[in-house]
Amino acid sequence: MKKIFLGKSGLEVSSIGLGCMGMSHGYGPAADKGESIKTIRHAVELGVTFFDTAEVYGEGENEKLVGEALAPYGNQVVIATKCGIKLVDGKQVLDGRPKVIRRSVDGSLKRLGVEVIDLYYLHRVDPDTPIEEVAETMKDLIRQGKIRHWGLSEAGIDTVRRAHSVCPLTAIQSEYSMMWRQPEESLFSVLEELGIGFVPFSPLGKGFLTATIQKDTTFAASDFRSIVPRFTPENIEANQGLVKLIEKIAKDKGATPAQIALAWVIAQKPWISPIPGTKNISRLEENVGAINIELADREVTALNEVLSHVEISGARYPVGSDFDKRAGK
């Protein structure tokens, strides 16, 4: 497994991490606990050292799962978790107040069964709490030895600059894939300037870039994709051109579409570590195999040029929803 540093922070992680959310939350019913533990531990055997969770996933159950699965490995692995989203009457509510962050970190430490959290994100920016207060709180948690590094998820560039000036950020986590390239427009240059790493979630376009989703594919009510415009039958059909492009490259490279999609993400910058999620070992092995796919600079440049002319149908969040409103703040 190849390793990268997240920006200039000194935090070294595997080139591909594992997003653990879907094992407990967001993509249909929770997976079998025993199978999930096997999958996480097999990831370690494959060289994955970077694991992502959050206190809101499964209302803390995902953190417990990740903590139990990784307990035998100690400081061989890097665990990232998040605070700032609470469930109130079944609805997600943003709360980034310092007292809430302090309470959350203690809860996460207990559920994960660790003495210090390697990377602690504010899950989404709370518009009612100045980001400088959040950064000061994170600085204090680092001084106390409760966290080693901190980051922001889905934050805008102004917020990133303000936060970083108070307490240096290690990573920004946002959606990024062949289907969603917005971070390239302005975020990448800021991260490069400030020496901050990038952790893309949904690098497989929430599964679309695996070439396994067709217009007649249906999603359970507990699957987030059931409300996402990008996954309506008409938009699934409209976006098949991108899948066909990836399939052609995959055939030429002797790889799978998922591996090409991940290799493309990894090839963009040396400080990027995507965190594709999966519930099963076969998909995990396929994803990790992306590190063996070489895309030369000229191939990446040519592919990016082609992608720049591909129109993606359907928004990544329901327009006007809370999910949509709190991204990029």
Query: Mind telling me the catalytic residues?
Result: 57
Identify which of 174, 284, 197, 196 has the alpha carbon closest to the alpha carbon of residue 13: 197
- The DSSP bridge partners found for residue 12 are 5
8 membership: H or E segment, kind and range? none
Cα(326)–Cα(190) distance, integer angstroms: 20
Cα(328)–Cα(162) distance, integer angstroms: 14
| Phi–psi pair at 272, nearest 5 degrees | -110, 130
118 membership: H or E segment, kind and range? strand 117-122
Identify which of 73, 88, 69 has the alpha carbon closest to the alpha carbon of residue 31: 69
Identify which of 139, 53, 122, 129 has the alpha carbon closest to the alpha carbon of residue 85: 122
CB 171 within 8 A of CB 200: no
